[in-house]
Chain A
Amino acid sequence: EPEVTQTPSHQVTQMGQEVILRCVPISNHLYFYWYRQILGQKVEFLVSFYNNEISEKSEIFDDQFSVERPDGSNFTLKIRSTKLEDSAMYFCASSKGQKDEETQYFGPGTRLLVL
């Protein structure tokens, strides 16, 4: 069964550094998402992406964040200047976008630790 994959599984970075988290969505899916889960807290929506542009973003997704689909398979989340509070598990998800049957499939996550 096709799966969403993410790399790296873990990343440690210094505050102020840029990080890029990578995702390969399921191949025939059209919608892509990033969520994050701070340790011990709920999963929070960051952004959705369709047809090479952002569909929706949350208040968390400020100017420090950006997303890109640089080629036909990858979907990336960039954090320009990381802060301590960016430490979290970041999940990528994708969906077909079928009307009335929207299931989002999640990747295994990237655990980001900002020191």
Chain B
Amino acid sequence: AQSVSQHNHHVILSEAASLELGCNYSYGGTVNLFWYVQYPGQHLQLLLKYFSGDPLVKGIKGFEAEFIKSKFSFNLRKPSVQWSDTAEYFCAVNAGTGGFKTIFGAGTRLFVKA
């Protein structure tokens, strides 16, 4: 069955600490991979996406993610977090062309201490 696993449910960091959120997926065939962010009280926003090409993708707000096909992983990273990064982060995958459902991980709630 198709699934997305996020390794941590809650992460607490101090400002300027480095961040890495793990994501593994189980999905047959070619996939598109996404990280969405949900700030408190707000809706899902696309942080970054991978379709093909360079497996290291850069997104908004200094985030990046690396697709490692052999490990079925798409981990999210940021070298130095800020208090404003406090949010819930969702890894997601879909299978290419339109009409396919996007499958979400359970989310990782990040809290950054000022």
**A residues touching B (Cβ–Cβ < 8 Å)?**
30-31, 33, 35, 41-45, 48, 50, 55-56, 58, 91, 93, 95-109
B residues within 8 A CB of A31?
98-99
Whether the Cβ atoms of A99 and B94 lie closer than 8 Å is no
Cα–Cα distance between A104 and B46 once the two chains are bound (Å): 9
Main secondary structure of the interface of B (DSSP, over half): loop
**B residues touching A (Cβ–Cβ < 8 Å)?**
30, 32, 34, 36, 42-46, 49, 51-52, 90, 92, 94, 96-107
Whether the Cβ atoms of B99 and A55 lie closer than 8 Å is yes
Whether the Cβ atoms of A106 and B44 lie closer than 8 Å is yes
**11 other A-B residue contacts (CB within 8 Å) besides A44-B104, A98-B98:** A41-B106, A42-B90, A91-B44, A95-B98, A99-B97, A100-B32, A100-B97, A102-B98, A103-B32, A106-B36, A108-B42
Whether the Cβ atoms of B100 and A101 lie closer than 8 Å is no
Cα–Cα distance between A26 and B13 once the two chains are bound (Å): 36
Given A45-B103, A103-B34, A30 and B43 contact (CB-CB distance below 8 Å)? no
Cα–Cα distance between A86 and B92 once the two chains are bound (Å): 23
In-complex Cβ contact of B44 among A43, A96, A97, A100 (8 A): A43
Shortest A34–chain B CB gap in Å is: 10
B residues within 8 A CB of A96?
98
Whether the Cβ atoms of B104 and A97 lie closer than 8 Å is no
B residues within 8 A CB of A58?
101
Shortest A95–chain B CB gap in Å is: 5
Cα–Cα distance between A93 and B90 once the two chains are bound (Å): 16
A residues within 8 A CB of B49?
103
Whether the Cβ atoms of A48 and B96 lie closer than 8 Å is no
A residues within 8 A CB of B36?
106
Whether the Cβ atoms of B32 and A101 lie closer than 8 Å is yes
Whether the Cβ atoms of A50 and B44 lie closer than 8 Å is no
B residues within 8 A CB of A102?
32, 94, 96-98, 100
